[in-house]
A and B are shown apart, each in its own frame.
Chain A
């Protein structure tokens, strides 16, 4: 079954404690992206990756890092989380037919 798998699904953490949200896909898609979803703002792109070792900033990259060492994985790293990074995060891949394929989401709360 085609899947984008994110972990953890839910996380409560404290300000400044580094965390990583993992994303893995089994569809061999080249393009992967991270979004955050906030009420009234829709989805905003944080970072994206066109392929292995190729990453670039989206619209709201501040406070986040990513890496793409292998095609299937695209982790999102928060080096020093702050309360304004409390949000619902989605990893997505771009299918060969042009639509995005999303993971189930990771709800992060930073206290």
Chain B
């Protein structure tokens, strides 16, 4: 069965500091991995994805994520946080076995302090 764990309910970081939002997953076969962001009163927006190839993927708004197969992780990172990055972040996984079902983590709320 597919599952996603986001071990931190909340991450606090000062503006200008690097940020990491953690995600680990479990899936049969090779995974498709995604990060989505949700701003208040808005729908989820796609940030980045890993399908195949380079383990470091770059996405919108300066975010990047590193796929680590041995640790089954896909942590979201940004070198220098902005106050406007404060939002709810969701990690998601889909098996590449032909189906389209996407499983989401519980979400991590990121607070960036000025």
Contacts and interface: CB of A to CB of B under 8 A. Distances in A.
Interface of A: 4, 31, 35, 40-45, 48, 50, 58, 90, 92, 94, 98-105
B110 to A, nearest CB: 15
A58 B100 CA distance: 11
B90 A90 contact: no
Contact of A101 (B32, B41, B46, B104): B46
* Prevailing SS type, chain A contact patch: strand
Contacts of A99: 34, 46, 49
A101 B105 CA distance: 17
Given A42-B104, A92-B44, A102-B43, 12 more contacts: A42-B90, A42-B105, A45-B101, A90-B44, A94-B100, A99-B46, A100-B44, A100-B46, A100-B92, A101-B46, A102-B45, A105-B41
Contact of B106 (A35, A42, A101): A42
A58 B45 CA distance: 21
Given A40-B106, A45-B101, A98 B32 contact: yes
Interface of B: 4, 9, 32, 34, 36, 41-46, 49, 51, 90, 92, 94, 100-102, 104-107
Which 8 pairs show the lowest CB-CB distances between chains A and B? A102-B43, A42-B104, A43-B104, A99-B46, A42-B106, A102-B44, A104-B43, A105-B43
Contacts of B94: 98
Given A41-B106, A42-B105, A42-B106, A98 B51 contact: yes
Contacts of A50: 100
Nearest to B43: A102
A102 B90 CA distance: 13
Nearest to A10: B41
